[in-house]
A = this chain, B = another copy of it.
């Protein structure tokens, strides 16, 4: 069949690929016991230097590495950490992954990456993860289902990146949305904007609801009523669609406070592009997160910094601490955003 036709290319594929040398193989070749092999790969084990040498050379010729799966079977806690992430269509998540996972890796932890599409899938994802005896699970899906505390027992320690209200048994690193939104609104009011709307993240998303509420409250503090409060997904496309709807509804405020930078970029895109409006002359726009794009001079988005360095450092610390002392008290960290004024306000 195809066996002859592709014989030339097939030569590269050795059947031995699926073969994996075991400690017993190495022991046999080195003329020692299997235990000696284990010791040779265990730092500080009691083994003669000559024996270790014999084992290492035998291991090298056979291409042997201890099977990590078998190793974790003995240890009570594995070296595997699960990372449950949502769509990093939101660039902030992409940046988070890009820097958090190497940080965990640096601590000698392996990362099992689990992608979660919609919110309903989170439970399934955690269920999948539960099959692995992970040392810790990092959840960074933005939103979070409130799951049963009884079931909670099965999942091992959980560290959340994002708002974790209603969860009193998980460590978390969040952002102080109220302070951030207040900074944005105060800034816009100070610049003379009176008609201000809010395009927040999904209403059923903790940070989406939180920021919308903070917006209304802060505006009320200035004696102003919101031009509108609407919700959309944390994506450029979702924000674009919502903005078109705003225009169709004849709602054109002097400023828009957005749930995050992706939304802000989508808003600006439609305002400048399809609607032909000037930003910030006619409409000011503020984002949230300060993703790297926001600082590019062609974009120059005024936004709220959500310092990713701090977040990474905190998450890393929390994971390390939780693994080292599983019964340490729960810690909730709240990062304080700062306003970064650029060209869109």
Contacts and interface: CB of A to CB of B under 8 A. Distances in A.
A272 interface: yes
Nearest to A117: B102
B105 A115 contact: yes
Nearest to A169: B12
B272 A298 contact: yes
B115 A10 contact: no
A10 B326 CA distance: 10
Interface string A111-122: 111110100000
A281 interface: no
A250 interface: no
Contacts of A95: 89
A13 B95 CA distance: 31
A69 B72 contact: yes
A40 B2 CA distance: 40
Number of copies: 2
A35 interface: no
Contacts of A334: none
Interface string A74-93: 00111000010001110100
A269 interface: yes
A168 B8 CA distance: 11
B13 A330 contact: yes
SS of A interface (majority): mixed
B297 A272 contact: yes
Contacts of A111: 112-114
A265 interface: yes
A16 B151 CA distance: 12
A97 interface: yes
A46 interface: no
Contacts of A6: 329
A8 to B, nearest CB: 9
A20 interface: yes
Nearest to A329: B6
A274 B325 CA distance: 51
The interface centre, meaning the residue of A2, A20, A329 with most chain B CB atoms within 10 A of its CB, is A329
A15 B273 contact: no
A72 to B, nearest CB: 5
Nearest to A63: B154
Interface string A94-115: 1101100110010000111111
Given A112-B113, A113-B113, A268-B298, 5 more contacts: A65-B130, A68-B131, A89-B95, A91-B91, A273-B298
23 contacts: A6-B329, A9-B329, A12-B168, A17-B326, A20-B133, A65-B131, A67-B131, A67-B132, A68-B132, A69-B72, A69-B73, A88-B98, A97-B97, A101-B113, A102-B115, A102-B117, A110-B114, A111-B112, A112-B113, A265-B296, A269-B298, A273-B297, A298-B298
The 6 closest A-B pairs by CB, nearest first: A273-B297, A94-B94, A6-B329, A12-B169, A68-B131, A113-B113
Interface of A: 2, 6, 9-10, 12-18, 20, 63, 65-70, 72-73, 76-78, 83, 87-89, 91, 94-95, 97-98, 101-102, 105, 110-115, 117, 127-128, 130-133, 151, 153-154, 156-157, 168-169, 236, 265, 268-270, 272-274, 292-293, 296-299, 326-330
